Amino acid sequence: MADDVDRANDLTEDTRTVEINTISRILAKTNLSGECVECGEDIEPKRRLAMPSAVRCMVCQEASEMHVRLYRH
């Protein structure tokens, strides 16, 4: 059981590291231009105000989160 928990923790940590590195690279490339990194459309002003670090529009963010939920297990 402990091995399963350790593997799950390692996977979670690895996933977070990859996500952080990806977002960091994206932010460096986009220079916080306000464009979605997925579709290239402008990120909604309300979203930018609520979450200045957002790199995806709501539609693309929701799709990304759905993908993570579906393929995480």
Whether the CB-CB separation of 59 and 39 falls below 8 Å is answered with: yes
pLDDT at 24: 79
How far apart, in whole angstroms, are the C-alpha atoms of residue 54 and residue 63? 14
CB 60 within 8 A of CB 26: no
Q: Model pTM greater than 0.75?
A: no
Q: How many domains does the chain have?
A: 1
The pLDDT of residue 59 is 96
Identify the band that residue 73 occupies on the pLDDT scale cut at 50, 70 and 90: low
Residue 72: C-alpha distances to residues 1, 12, 38, 58 (Å): 19, 9, 20, 21
Q: Report the number of secondary-structure helices (H) and strands (E) in the chain.
A: 3, 0
The model's pLDDT over 14-60, given as tens digits with 9 standing for 90+, comes to 888 888 888 877 776 655 668 898 999 999 999 988 988 888 999 99
Domain that holds residue 15: 2-71
Highest mean pLDDT among 5-14, 31-40, 59-68: 59-68
